[in-house]
A and B are shown apart, each in its own frame.
Chain A
Amino acid sequence: MTETTKTSADQTPDQPSASQFRRSWFKLKRNKVALIGGLLIFLYILTALLAPVLFPGNPSAPNLIMALETPSLKHPLGTDELGRSILGRIIYGSRVSLLIAIGAVSVGLIIGIPLGLISGYYGGKIDFILQRITDIMLAFPGFLLALGLVAVLGVGLKNAMVSVGIGMIPLYIRLVRGCTLSVREEVYVEAAKATGTRDTVILLRHILPNVMVPITVQTSLMMGMGILFAAGLGFLGIGVQPPTPEWGTMLSSGRSYLFHAPHVATFPGIAIFLAVLGFNLLGDGLRDALDPRFKL
């Protein structure tokens, strides 16, 4: 009886192969939704980087004569209560939110990945302790946790970054740990151990590459979350402090003028929405593209 034969696509599955990446890239390009997301993100980052070019001048300089003007040619998105161009403040605000998001995600990654790997790989007491800590952190809704941390650390950009970042750590730990747990059981890890490979090498060469896939998807979504949280803190007045332009704080001040000048609150919100949307769309697209069992 002839046995089932392997096709040439079968390879030792220890690292995502080059052709797998190519395939995923191809699938990603096909996914129009993800492309739109990528475009939005690209525009967002571009805006942040080129802010001084796009809006020369000081976005925070008050000009009370022009206060609360509706959108016009001179000020395409109108002015706020201090006469500042909303468009300008949105452009500069993109820097702040991007910075906080990147900072927060970095905190989450830098601390979350190693802890997750260790927790998942070694198990035992370390795992138990880490998991209990993670449980407690996750017992509080993310935003509340960030809130609480701001209460301890104080307001300001750096603290916002750290607070939101710390809120992301347990999510990354969970994700990485889960992935590590399943990869740890793979035969090639056993084989590596049997040949005396050092643990650090196993972690870096075999486990980490497999974890990268869900991490990438998660990170895209976390960026969106970071932007939302940063804006939320700003809205409550405990994030980035005025006069630094920040989308959340702009919404907060816009709130007072809802009845007479709703545009002050509308446009910053749209900016937040588009930025977060970009990351969510991309994250979704990435998830679909990198999922091996996807779609016919």
Chain B
Amino acid sequence: MKLNQSSGTKGSVLIITILTLTILAFLCATSLYVASQNLNAGMQTSSWQQSLSGSETGIDLAIRALNISSTSPSTAWAGWRTGSLPSGTSLPTSEPTVSASPVPTAPPDSTHYNYLPSTNSNASLTVTNTEGATSVATWVTIDTAGMLPSQDTNGKQWYRVRATGQTAVSGPARVSGNRLDNSLRNTIGLLLNRKGGTFLGPTRTVEVILQPLSSGGWLRAITLSTKLTISGSGIVDSFDSSSAMYSTNGQYDLAHHLTHGDVGTASSSGSAISGSAHLFGSLAYSGPAVSGANATTVSGSITTPFNPTIPGTLDPVVKSGNSGWTWSNVTPQVNANWGPNMTTTYAMSNGLPKDSNNNVLTSVTATSTDPTAPTFFIFNSDFTVSGGHTFTVNSTSTDPNNPNYIVIWVKGKFTTSGTGILNQSLGSHVVWIVDNDITTSGDSYMNPGGYAKNTAFVQVSGAANPDGTFPQSHKVTVSGSGNFIAQVDAPNSTMVVSGGGYLVGAAIAGNLTVSGGSGFHYDEALSGAVSASLGNYAFASWFEDNSAPGRGINY
């Protein structure tokens, strides 16, 4: 059979070609769509993360400025500007225009804010010829947010820092095809900018509240380099021996107590608060959370980090040519200077000093009224007041507010044991420099009616190593049911307070265990004896503002 070949079938080649090209075009379009979506999603995510890095860098820049503001204001605020708060205590929500605003020389007061424009920020970066984000910009504001220094334990100003990181993406302003991504990363593109202004691109804003932490060791009840363990039913609180309102005759009184028994630990690993113990103050720490610390057991704030510089404690040193002795210590602040004939060294007999005639001494007397040239004795080995013995530190003064000063350097252990009693006269100011363990109690170290400012124990740790550790480590044991009134500066010690008695004063230690109903009554009068300089700032609050009010998106 033969079929007629119609001339009408000649166009089939064209149709088939068009059909084939159409199919291929669809395939290409699908490929491009899939590739475009992948690219946009990847670009969104990376830009989103870069914006967060930008905003967090802004926070760090603000902390640095605050930290060095008092010592290097011109360096601290280089590139910053200051302006009046737009209304009340509200910060601007979009980047202020950089103008001839004055350059700040200090942190802002209650009516101003300091800001670091993105054009002046070292954190801002522009990159050309890149497939990814072409720039990351950061602008930062600092203000007081209506918070007052009087609301802080140490009378310091808290600050609100708000930092915004912005990333400019290359290519067309186009959002991902997934609307869920748009809700999360809602500033990625098109004409949206939920923070106002003209900037287009992912924008992330972080707001932190910075709590100032004072560096002085006596600005809080307890300063530790490592672990804190508090158990039993004891408390940590405060009073003020210099105030009739917050003490009774200069002594702790629960009815007049205060809630500034602050505690800080620079390395909190293993720390815990248990039993019915309670901190009437704030807790600052670095490291893992302190077990059991919560709103029920801590009355004040719980903040992190806590990175204090804890100075080492040193022995007195002989001046060149044996021309005398010097000794300085940061906490308590003592800068003593003895002439060549102003020191007396005693050998020890059964723990007590003996004179050149081998007579055992049962007392020494403070006579100096000059705190920089105190009476100075050296006990050449362990000092022990054992059961049945009494040792007395006398003074010519009877006024604790105008005392006679004495420094006693114990080149060994300091021990009061059993029924041994060490009496300190009311008009004496005693600094014990101890080279080894300290063992005492409130029942055996008697300074009734005295103040912690007049009794200091300094346990020698040696100068701090570059990594913050100390070469010497000793123990401090405070036991008994009586109150032990003193300052204890033992930066690398294992300190134990037990037996139901309280340490009335303040302490610096390596690690601390408080048990058996014991606790601390921090004497706030000690804070006036040291410079209340700022050490650093801790985050009291961290919040990322991811809202888009114009789109009904919050949280």
Q: Are A and B co-members of a single complex? A: no
